Amino acid sequence: MYTESVVPTMDKLIIYQIFTRLFGNQNTTNRPYGSRDENGVGKFNDINEAALKAIRQFGASHIWFTGIIEHATETNYSAQGIRPDDPIVVKGRAGSPYAVKDYYDVDPDLAVDVPNRMAEFEALVLRTHSHGLKVIIDFVPNHVARQYQSDSKPAGIADLGQNDDTSLAFSSANNFYYLPGQQFISPDQDPLHHHADSASVPKLKEFPAKVTGSGSLTATPDINDWYETVKLNYGYNVFDGSAHFNPIPATWHQMLDILLFWAEKGVDGFRCDMAHLVPVAFWNWAIGRVKQRYPRLIFIAEIYDPGLYRSFIFEGRFDYLYDKVGLYDAVRRLMEGHGSCYELTSVWQHESGDFAQHMLRFLETHDEQRIASRFFTNDPWAAIPGMTLTATMHTGPVLLYFGQEIGVCAEGAEGFSGDDGRTTIFDYWGLPDWQGWLNKGRYDGAGLTDNQRSLRAFYQQLNHLVTNSDAIQNGYFYDLQYANDNGQGPGYDAHQVYSYLRYTERQQLLIVCNFSSDKTYSTTITIPQAAFGAMKKEAAQTYWFNDIFMSDTRIETSGLAGVPIQLPPRSVRIFEIKSQKKSYF
């Protein structure tokens, strides 16, 4: 059954995610578990004018710089006054960017001159803004590194855990949760993985044990757990499920100060890691206060519980939420050859109304497997229908992960995470697939293959279509599956083919996607009379259907007769509907 979506206001951001440590690294020694000096590391300064110009020309509006805030690492920076970390609670040689060890500092790996690291980050923010791009960084509110200690916090700010009463398992005045009488024991006892630069690195002695970042209530977390982190306490008692938000818990005030600290640095938004593990009451309180001072700053929630979506938007005040358990999962199944387009209709129905424009859609992030890997499709071109639909189905923002556009495949074990189809977030590494675009810091693609250039051209063309289309930016949505299923559209396989309209008064588009990897469909797309009425067009009139995306196809047909098309495997058609004569409907 057709239901219109509410037209939003310009939420169609195009966010380009950079894993900062890897993006500019020209070294491809790639020794598993290699050190910073062996394998190299990208710097703030590597994201130069050429890189930013290319990203802007690519069609991005925002850059999400991943891994900016200082996190636990095996690399020893004690000579620069930075407290080293016990390798037994560091994942990989470089460490996880989501094990923050100082919320008020940046990762020293990313600086050319470590003592001047914050100034180098601030220069990157200014450089990014000068190219018309906005800056997003991670805010990691749920957990911190086990050896968290800020050596850069402003005067008068209490460090996390500094005033805790460690004899209490829970107190709303504490920053952490404790397991009184228990000693923390790390699951990672393999010395072959520990390459600390100095034998003098202080060893972790955590007693009483703190609750692990995932919320597991054990002093002996599993190797697959978030054992390198500890969970922050926002006044929710993890031991009995009770909430203690009055008076305002200490952690709320401290995390608000951190958000304001980075907002004052000029960042334009926060991607909030595992936001659904933090009480929605905190988000309502904190986001409201941040936006009083920075009303244009955006908040994006990493969230995987659809039951919480509405509360995190309308109570938590988030601008955007991850559309992972929804569109991503449905599209991935289709790309892998075992899904159905019926699922896309279900996703649309769930996210219709005032909801759709708040969903951030993607096919790759640092958490997800690369499309080109053998764990996903083994073919980057399989993304054509999926990415087109992801970018055009709704009015919400779109995310692209660096390297996706040239088919980075992430094959082989890089270090801690092993061979899993993901680009490592734990290790020092150089991406051989990426080097052709990087081209020694020129970011001109001179070393790409013809196939990679063609793939990148597809993504760039899609970005510019999204940016320049009134219907995609601002339009209503109309699902055409019901009108073409059950034999109403001859040759139409509703499991593999998905069709829909996006339209405003100024522009009307018919979009058709074929997800089959081996079938060509010759069919006629039926647009029902009700759909023409919604677009304020006469169904009996003759129209031009002009493909404005990937082909020069031009079809003349009466609205009532349908649109005859041929869809090769993994192809899309985006037709702009043009009247042959002025309509007085």
Please write the tens of the pLDDT for every residue from 350-365: 887 778 899 999 999 9
172: pLDDT strictly greater than 50: yes
Same domain, 278 and 390: yes
Q: In this structure, is residue 64 part of a structural domain?
A: yes
Same domain, 408 and 445: yes
**Which of 52-56, 220-224, 275-279 shows the lowest mean pLDDT across its residues?**
220-224
Q: Which residue has the higher pLDDT, 8 or 526?
A: 526
The rounded distance, in Å, linking the Cα atoms of 522 and 517 is 15
The rounded distance, in Å, linking the Cα atoms of 407 and 387 is 13
Please name the amino acid found at residue 383.
Answer: A
Same domain, 514 and 444: no
Q: Give the count of beta carbons closer than 10 Å to the beta carbon of residue 475.
A: 25
Please give the angle made by the CA atoms of 430, 436 and 441, to the nearest 5 degrees.
Answer: 75
Q: Which residues contact 352 (CB under 8 A, 6 or more apart)?
A: 3, 5, 477
The pLDDT of residue 582 is 52
The pLDDT of residue 473 is 95
pLDDT tens per residue, range 391-450: 999 999 999 999 999 999 998 999 998 999 999 999 999 999 999 999 999 999 999 999
The pLDDT of residue 366 is 98
Q: Tokens representing 30?
A: 């790639």
- 368, 386 Cβ separation under 8 angstroms: no
Please give the angle made by the CA atoms of 5, 297 and 215, to the nearest 5 degrees.
Answer: 85
Q: How far is CA 390 from CA 96, 228, 271, 331, in A?
A: 29, 34, 19, 8
Q: In this structure, is residue 128 part of a structural domain?
A: yes
Q: Domain of 349: which CATH number?
A: 3.20.20.80
Instruction: Please count the structural domains in the chain.
Output: 2
**Quick check: helix, strand or coil at residue 90?**
coil
Q: In this structure, is residue 97 part of a structural domain?
A: yes
Same domain, 122 and 85: yes
Same domain, 488 and 353: no
Q: Domain of 493: which CATH number?
A: 2.60.40.1180
Nearest in space to 543 (alpha carbons), one of 506, 509, 582, 577: 577
Q: How far is CA 343 from CA 171, 385, 496, 518, in A?
A: 44, 15, 11, 20
Contacts of 479-485 with C-beta under 8 Å, sequence gap 24+, read 479/2, 479/345, 479/348, 480/525, 480/526, 480/527, 480/528, 480/531, 481/341, 481/342, 481/344, 481/345, 482/1, 482/2, 482/345, 483/526, 483/527, 483/528, 483/531, 484/523, 484/525, 484/526
Domain that holds residue 269: 29-148+241-467
The pLDDT of residue 351 is 82
> In what order do the strands lie in the sheet containing 508-514?
476-479, 497-503, 508-514, 572-579, 542-547, 554-558
- 396, 356 Cβ separation under 8 angstroms: yes
Same domain, 135 and 282: yes
Q: How far is CA 432 from CA 256, 436, 438, in A?
A: 40, 8, 10
189: pLDDT strictly greater than 70: no
Please give the angle made by the CA atoms of 125, 126 and 127, to the nearest 5 degrees.
Answer: 90
Q: Tokens representing 584?
A: 């007085």
The rounded distance, in Å, linking the Cα atoms of 264 and 270 is 13
Q: Which residues contact 345 (CB under 8 A, 6 or more apart)?
A: 479, 481, 482
pLDDT average, residue stretch 454-465: 98
129: pLDDT strictly greater than 60: yes
Q: Which of 441, 467, 493 is the last residue of a domain?
A: 467
- Cite the DSSP H helix spans in 538-577: none
Q: Which of 417, 437, 467 is the last residue of a domain?
A: 467
1: pLDDT strictly greater than 90: no
Q: In this structure, is residue 379 part of a structural domain?
A: yes
pLDDT tens per residue, range 242-280: 999 999 999 999 999 999 999 999 999 999 999 999 999
325: pLDDT strictly greater than 50: yes
Q: In this structure, is residue 208 part of a structural domain?
A: no
Q: Tokens representing 321?
A: 């939420």
**Pairing, β 69-71 against β 100-106:** antiparallel
Q: In this structure, is residue 584 part of a structural domain?
A: no
503: pLDDT strictly greater than 60: yes
Same domain, 533 and 443: no
584: pLDDT strictly greater than 50: no
Same domain, 120 and 262: yes
- Total residues found in the chain within this entry: 585
Same domain, 448 and 542: no
Same domain, 443 and 482: no
The rounded distance, in Å, linking the Cα atoms of 579 and 585 is 12
Q: In this structure, is residue 224 part of a structural domain?
A: no
Same domain, 385 and 498: no
192: pLDDT strictly greater than 60: no
The pLDDT of residue 352 is 73
194: pLDDT strictly greater than 70: no
Q: Which of 438, 467, 496 is the last residue of a domain?
A: 467
390: pLDDT strictly greater than 80: yes
Same domain, 490 and 463: no
Q: Which helix (H) or strand (E) holds 509?
A: strand 508-514
pLDDT average, residue stretch 26-45: 96
pLDDT average, residue stretch 113-142: 98
Q: Give the count of beta carbons closer than 10 Å to the beta carbon of residue 552.
A: 7
**Which of 180-189, 194-203, 460-469, 535-544 shows the lowest mean pLDDT across its residues?**
194-203
The pLDDT of residue 5 is 42
Q: In this structure, is residue 153 part of a structural domain?
A: no
